[in-house]
């Protein structure tokens, strides 16, 4: 059983006979996309098949913004 991200990458690279750096980019790309979309500040929900939905609670954003403005 694969226990870490590094083990997963090596396992996939060996199984599909791909370079390790290519497999690593494939594995991490989807999370980079989620980060970029949420960084825009539009707070739309992003669904990654087999992983779930990622969203930002708008009331939490307001709370954090209010805290920053108080300082």
Tens-place pLDDT, residues 19-48: 999 999 999 998 898 888 877 877 778 888
Integer-rounded Cα radius of gyration of the chain: 17
The string of DSSP codes covering 19-35 is: -HHHHHHHHHHHHHHHH
Query: What does the block give as tokens for 68?
Result: 């920053």
Distance between CA atoms of residues 52 and 5, nearest Å: 18
Could you list the residue range(s) of the whole structural domain that residue 38 is in?
5-70
pLDDT (tens digit per residue) in 2-21: 589 899 999 999 999 999 99
Q: What gap in Å lies between CA 25 and CA 32, rounded to an integer?
A: 10
- The reported pTM is 0.59
Total domains present in the chain: 1
């Amino acid at each position: 059983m694969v226990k870490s991200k590094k083990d997963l990458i090596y396992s996939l690279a060996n199984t599909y006979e791909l370079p390790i750096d290519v497999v690593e980019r494939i594995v991490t790309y989807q999370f980079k996309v989620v980060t970029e979309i949420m960084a825009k500040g539009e707070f739309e929900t992003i669904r990654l098949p087999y992983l779930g939905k990622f969203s930002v609670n708008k009331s939490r954003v307001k709370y954090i913004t209010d805290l920053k403005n108080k300082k």
